[in-house]
Amino acid sequence: MASHRRPKQPSRTRVTVLTTAAAAAVVLSANAANAAPSEKPGKDEVKAKVDALYEQAEKATEKLDGAKEKQDKLQKQISTLQDNVARGQEDLNELRDGLGSMASAQYRTGGIDPSVALFLSSDPDDFLDKASAMDQLSSQQVEALKKVQEKQRELAQQRQEASEKLKDLSDTRAELKKKKQEVQGKLASAQKLLNSLTAKEKAALDEEQSRATRASERTVLNSPGKAGSGRAGAAYAAAQGMIGRPYVYGATGPSSFDCSGLTSWAYAQAGVSIPRTSESQATIGTRIYSQSDLQVGDLVFFFGDLHHVGLYAGSGQVLHAPRTGTVVRYESMSTIGGAFQFGVRV
């Protein structure tokens, strides 16, 4: 006989849970539908972010320049040491040949002095440390052995120094690679942000910068600052001739520059050799902390870590290579992101 049981009804708890879940789903769907799409950052926000990235890139660039400078110095020092070692080895060989000739002469006239024979088959350092052996040598032999000993010590020291500098060079190259990747990463991020702007927004940013540059040029022409020394004036004039040249990180001119590349190049044209990086350039000359005391051609430094430098152009203006995407130009010192720290009169 068939069963006629009534179908089991869902419990009140289960119904409540399902109803609540359905209601939540409806609310979420409604919210999603009504939510405003994420707003694209405006040109001013993009500019602020790009400027921050360019500042970080410039900071890394100065560290990169410092590593390059250190690498160049180490390579020159290593080359000199290796040349010295090669020449020293030739001198040592000649000294040993002389001792060999002395031993041969002694053999022909009655046998080799046992002390010389001992030297020719062992380390003279060990031999000469034995004071009793000195009595067995003639003054000529003693002098020859001492020269060999000194040359061996000198060569050992130079080889050790070369080995240490080679290790330092390897570490410097690793640092160079790391800093280069850091700079490239910051620049790529900045370019990505710039690419998010419309053509109209990019044009507006370019026009804003052009107006600011023209205003700085007028200020410099209409209110020239106090003239600097002959060398400072010559350096400044050389930099003026580079206006419009592009900023390229690590570049020292004359086709392109980074900030300290421009200042070091300009002073070189005036016959003055100054360090390569902004941080090192800040350690030379006489510091000037009051902007009113600056003269045209003085070096001027910005940011707490001194990673940006330019040439004072008078009336609160600076002639510098600002950052990637710009050219050598005049700019008001008040518009540079990092506050003026001090000047240096070379």
259 is catalytic: yes
Q: Which of 308, 323, 329, 345 is catalytic?
A: 308
CA nearest neighbour of 165 among 68, 63, 79, 276: 79
Structural domain contains residue 337:
yes
Start-to-end CA span in the chain (Å): 115
180 and 233 co-located in one domain:
no
Task: Read off the DSSP letter of residue 212.
Answer: H
Structural domain contains residue 4:
no
205 and 190 co-located in one domain:
no
Domain tally for the chain? 2
Structural domain contains residue 12:
no
**Cβ count within 10 A of residue 275:** 17
151 and 283 co-located in one domain:
no
Residues whose CB falls within 8 Å of the CB of residue 340, separated by 6 or more in sequence, listed in order: 291, 300, 301, 302, 333
Using the 3D structure, point to which of 161, 194, 227 is the last residue of a domain: 194
113 and 236 co-located in one domain:
no
267 and 254 co-located in one domain:
yes
Q: What is the predicted pLDDT for the residue at 26?
A: 42
CA nearest neighbour of 68 among 158, 185, 163, 178: 178
Q: Which two tokens stand for residue 216?
A: 């700085």
175 and 215 co-located in one domain:
no
Taken as a whole, the chain contains a residue count of 346
Structural domain contains residue 1:
no
Residues whose CB falls within 8 Å of the CB of residue 263, separated by 6 or more in sequence, listed in order: 235, 239, 274, 278, 281, 299, 309, 310, 311
75 and 184 co-located in one domain:
yes
54 and 153 co-located in one domain:
yes
Q: Which of 60, 137, 232, 259 is catalytic?
A: 259
Residues whose CB falls within 8 Å of the CB of residue 272, separated by 6 or more in sequence, listed in order: 231, 235, 346
The bridge status of strand 340-345 relative to strand 286-288 is: antiparallel
Q: What is the predicted pLDDT for the residue at 337?
A: 78
Q: What does the DSSP assignment read for 100-111? A: HHHHHHHHHTT-
Task: Read off the DSSP letter of residue 328.
Answer: S
Q: Which two tokens stand for residue 235?
A: 């350096």
Structural domain contains residue 211:
yes
296 within 8 A of 319, measured Cβ to Cβ? no
Tens digits of residue pLDDT in 193-221: 999 999 999 999 999 999 999 999 999 99
204 and 178 co-located in one domain:
no
Using the 3D structure, point to which of 150, 168, 194 is the last residue of a domain: 194
Tens digits of residue pLDDT in 107-130: 554 555 555 555 555 555 555 554
Q: What is the predicted pLDDT for the residue at 125?
A: 58
271 Rama class: left (phi>0) / alpha (psi -120 to 50) / beta: left
Structural domain contains residue 252:
yes
Give ∠ CA 190-194-196 in degrees, rounded to 5.
120
Q: What is the predicted pLDDT for the residue at 100?
A: 67
211 within 8 A of 325, measured Cβ to Cβ? no
177 Rama class: left (phi>0) / alpha (psi -120 to 50) / beta: alpha
50 and 189 co-located in one domain:
yes
Q: What is the predicted pLDDT for the residue at 107?
A: 52
Q: Which of 63, 320, 323, 345 is catalytic?
A: 320
82 within 8 A of 279, measured Cβ to Cβ? no
270 and 207 co-located in one domain:
yes
Residues whose CB falls within 8 Å of the CB of residue 256, separated by 6 or more in sequence, listed in order: 245, 246, 247, 248
pTM, to two decimals: 0.71
Structural domain contains residue 187:
yes
pLDDT by residue for the chain (346 residues), tens only, comes to: 444 444 455 444 444 444 444 444 444 444 444 444 456 778 899 999 999 999 999 999 999 999 999 999 999 999 999 998 998 888 888 877 776 665 565 555 455 555 555 555 555 555 555 444 445 556 777 777 788 888 888 888 989 999 999 999 999 999 999 999 999 999 999 999 999 999 999 999 999 999 999 999 999 999 888 888 899 999 999 999 999 999 999 999 999 999 999 999 999 999 999 999 999 999 999 999 999 999 999 999 999 999 999 999 999 999 999 999 899 999 999 999 779 999 999 9
307 is catalytic: no
**Positive/negative CA dihedral, 84, 89, 95, 98:** negative
Q: What is the predicted pLDDT for the residue at 37?
A: 45
Domain hosting 300: range is 199-345
Q: Which two tokens stand for residue 211?
A: 């107006």
Q: Which two tokens stand for residue 103?
A: 């031993």
Structural domain contains residue 172:
yes
251 and 173 co-located in one domain:
no
Report the C-alpha gap between 193 and 133 in whole angstroms. Answer: 80
Give ∠ CA 326-201-54 in degrees, rounded to 5.
35
54 within 8 A of 185, measured Cβ to Cβ? no
Using the 3D structure, point to which of 136, 171, 194 is the last residue of a domain: 194
308 is catalytic: yes
CATH number, domain at 159?
A: 1.10.287
CATH number, domain at 216?
A: 3.90.1720.10
Report the C-alpha gap between 132 and 122 in whole angstroms. Answer: 16
CA distances from 19 to 10, 14, 74, 323 (A): 12, 9, 77, 61
